[in-house]
């Protein structure tokens, strides 16, 4: 089991289009400073070739990323909330399909295969999702609703939470949709 978030040594060729997920609606994406990133990076637009990565940003998960299990890259989102409370607040969002012209590979500080642009970008298309939860499940993100203690144990785990995920039931498993198990 590997954590591909820490393994960005190999970059693929620039894809023709990239995806950017957001709960905000805009006609043009402007570079911004993200609070979870370093200020010296300046204002950036973040994007990814992977739709499952983009839909994770339709909501504010406590933690999201990927684990590499037997060669398969599995996207996950941890939500420190009850399913019922999350669903009440879930307003969905938008995935912007962007031309990759102005994007460069990100210095690895965030998700793997992340690209950044310092210039405003006009979307080629906008995918509308009425529910962030449904968008994640539809696109194969393994969604876990956890309590604060479980979240802290996963964050502190030397195996990136792998052994803890094995004992949890994802929302995908509960529904029988796009299940990818941490086994």
Q: pLDDT digit string (tens) for 15-69?
A: 999 999 998 888 999 998 865 556 677 889 999 999 999 999 998 777 888 888 8
Q: pLDDT category, 11, cuts 50, 70, 90?
A: low
Using the predicted structure, report yes or no on whether residue 172 has a pLDDT greater than 90: yes
- Domain membership flag for residue 137: yes
Residue 6 is predicted with a pLDDT of 47
Residue 97 is predicted with a pLDDT of 98
Question: Which ranges in 40-170 belong to alpha helices (H)?
Answer: 51-55, 83-89, 132-138, 148-156, 162-165
> For 35-44, 50-59, 80-89, 126-135, which range has the lowest pLDDT when averaged over its residues?
35-44
Residue with the two structure tokens 């793997």:
112
- How far apart are the two ends of the chain, measured CA to CA in Å? 9
Q: Tell me the CATH number at 30.
A: 3.20.170
Q: For residue 137, give its domain range.
A: 4-8+15-175
pTM of the model: 0.86
- Domain membership flag for residue 80: yes
Tokens of 113: 């295969």
Average pLDDT over residues 150-167: 92
Residue 117 is predicted with a pLDDT of 94
Beta strands in 12-134 (DSSP E): 17-22, 45-47, 63-69, 72-80, 93-99, 104-105, 115-117, 125-129
Q: Find out whether 34 and 44 touch, Cβ atoms under 8 Å.
A: yes
Residue 24 is predicted with a pLDDT of 86
- Domain membership flag for residue 37: yes
Average pLDDT over residues 170-180: 96
- Domain membership flag for residue 44: yes
Name the DSSP letter for residue 157.
-
Number of domains in the chain: 1
- Domain membership flag for residue 136: yes
- Domain membership flag for residue 50: yes
What is the distance between the alpha carbons of residues 98 and 29, in angstroms, rounded to a whole number?
9
Residue 7 is predicted with a pLDDT of 46
- Domain membership flag for residue 49: yes
- Domain membership flag for residue 33: yes
Average pLDDT over residues 84-93: 94
Closest CA to 100 of 9, 3, 13: 13
Name the DSSP letter for residue 170.
-
Q: Find out whether 124 and 105 touch, Cβ atoms under 8 Å.
A: no
Chain segment 139-155, per-residue pLDDT in tens: 999 999 999 999 999 99
């Amino acid at each position: 089991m590997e954590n591909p978030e820490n393994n960005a040594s190999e970059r693929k060729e620039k894809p023709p289009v990239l995806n950017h997920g957001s709960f905000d609606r805009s006609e043009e994406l402007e570079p911004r400073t993200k609070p979870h990133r370093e200020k010296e990076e300046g204002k950036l637009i973040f994007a990814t070739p992977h739709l499952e990565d983009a839909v994770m940003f339709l909501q504010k998960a406590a933690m999201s990323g990927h684990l590499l299990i037997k060669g398969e890259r599995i996207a996950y989102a941890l939500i420190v909330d009850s399913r019922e409370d999350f669903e009440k607040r879930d307003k969905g969002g938008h995935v912007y399909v962007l031309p990759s012209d102005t994007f460069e590979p990100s210095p690895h500080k965030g998700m793997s295969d992340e690209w950044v642009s310092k210039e405003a970008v006009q979307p080629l298309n906008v995918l509308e999702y009425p529910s962030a939860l449904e968008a994640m499940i539809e696109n194969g993100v393994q969604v876990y609703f956890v309590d604060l203690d479980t979240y802290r144990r996963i964050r502190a785990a030397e195996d990136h939470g792998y052994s803890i995920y094995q004992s949890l039931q994802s929302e995908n498993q509960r529904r029988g949709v796009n299940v990818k198990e941490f086994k």
